[in-house]
């Protein structure tokens, strides 16, 4: 059973997001060993300068890097990444599981991810051209991974 | 204040989705007159034939058509539609509000929308190449519309 690790910066603040994430975690337990690592979001002033944002992303990058493993196929979630279909995500997960013991998705803070993290990953994945809050994105990612495993298993979830 | 109407086939079954939709409805009330019309999803057998699915979509299309207004700028949500950024969605809403009193988004059932509905709409909008459950899509759409209004208003919500 492959391990799926989600590294996410920031906590889920809304109850409905926590409930959604818990539901998908439960559903995913039949398909993979899921772990979700929540890292601290750097504090920023109300109107942060470019430099302040870069420093925050740097600080977050250090904490993320400590969680990245060479055993893992690493995917950075970023708006400029490649978009793929649910079927293609399923194929990707299947292909990765032949070579690696873990697939790891990295979700940054509301200012995204440092270039260092993007470069350290094997792939950049975009979900949409639209911007979504990183907390909702976590639920969207859990759903997409759950769907991918259902496609691999050939269940009726994905019609 | 522009009206935003969301026509959706099917009900939100999970509590967390209902809570999320309620939260965004509350937030949107400051920006628009929001109405959400939930239509009945046609019942299908466990393993529906192409014909059965087409009939279901036809039935749903009739109910949707009755809710479409010529006063409205109508957007069909479908995976093959055009993807746009949050900024472009904001521009679209702003442009529409100069000409129409309502903007209407149509979300189909798990088998999508009938071609009749797609043709009756002014635009086809896709959120992602990934497939999302139509119920989660409703929350994603509410978030995107809320973000668009924040972009128009120049708040700090969209950084």
User: pLDDT for B81-110, tens place per residue?
Assistant: 999 999 999 999 999 999 999 999 999 998
Query: Is A140 in contact with B144 (Cβ distance < 8 A)?
Result: no
pTM of the model: 0.96
In chain A, % of residues over pLDDT 70:
100
Torsion of CA A19, A21, A22, A26, to 10 degrees: 140
Query: Is A128 in contact with B131 (Cβ distance < 8 A)?
Result: no
User: What is the C-alpha to C-alpha distance for residues A138 and A39, in angstroms, rounded to an integer?
Assistant: 13
**Chain A residues lying within 8 Å of B158, measured CB to CB:** 131
Option in B83, B111, B127 nearest A159 (CB): B111
The CATH architecture one would assign to domain A3-153 is 3-Layer(aba) Sandwich (3.40)
Query: Is A127 in contact with B130 (Cβ distance < 8 A)?
Result: yes
Option in B139, B143, B159 nearest A110 (CB): B159
Query: Is B129 in contact with A16 (Cβ distance < 8 A)?
Result: no
Pairing of strands B123-125, B72-82: parallel
DSSP B48: -
Collect contacts of B63-70 with beta carbons under 8 A, ≥24 apart: B63/B9, B63/B39, B64/B7, B64/B9, B64/B39, B64/B106, B64/B113, B64/B117, B65/B116, B65/B117, B65/B120, B67/B5, B67/B7, B67/B37, B67/B39, B68/B7, B68/B104, B68/B106, B68/B120, B69/B102, B69/B104
Q: Which residue ranges make up each domain of chain A?
A: 3-153
Give the chain A residue nearest B133 (alpha carbons). Answer: A143
Reported ipTM: the value is 0.94
Token reading at A73? 């196929």
Option in A85, A129, A132 nearest B83 (CB): A129
| pLDDT tens column, B27-71 | 999 999 999 999 999 999 988 999 999 999 999 999 999 999 999
pLDDT category of residue B158 using cuts at 50, 70 and 90: confident
Query: Is A131 in contact with B110 (Cβ distance < 8 A)?
Result: no
Rg of chain B, C-alpha, whole Å: 15
B7 within 8 A of B34, measured Cβ to Cβ:
no
User: What is the C-alpha to C-alpha distance for residues A60 and A124, in angstroms, rounded to an integer?
Assistant: 18
Q: A98 CB contacts (<8 Å, ≥6 apart)?
A: none
Option in A19, A85, A159 nearest B110 (CB): A159
- DSSP H helical ranges for B5-157: 15-28, 50-65, 86-99, 115-120, 134-153
Number of Cβ within 10 Å of residue A62's Cβ equals 12
Weakly modelled stretches of chain A, pLDDT under 70: none
């Amino acid at each position: 059973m492959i391990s799926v690790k989600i590294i996410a910066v920031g906590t889920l603040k809304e109850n409905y997001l926590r409930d959604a994430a818990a539901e998908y975690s439960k559903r995913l337990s039949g398909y993979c060993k899921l772990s979700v690592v929540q890292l601290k979001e750097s504090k920023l002033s109300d109107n942060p300068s470019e430099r302040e944002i870069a420093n925050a992303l740097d600080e977050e990058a250090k904490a993320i890097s400590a969680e990245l493993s060479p055993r893992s196929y690493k995917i950075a979630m970023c708006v400029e990444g490649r978009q793929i279909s649910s079927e293609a995500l399923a194929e990707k997960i299947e292909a990765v599981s032949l070579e690696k013991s873990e697939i790891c998705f990295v979700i940054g803070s509301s200012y995204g991810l440092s270039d260092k993290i993007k470069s350290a990953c094997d792939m950049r994945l975009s979900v949409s051209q639209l911007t979504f809050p990183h907390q909702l994105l976590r639920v969207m990612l859990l759903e997409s991974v759950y769907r991918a495993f259902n496609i691999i298993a050939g269940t009726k979830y994905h019609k």
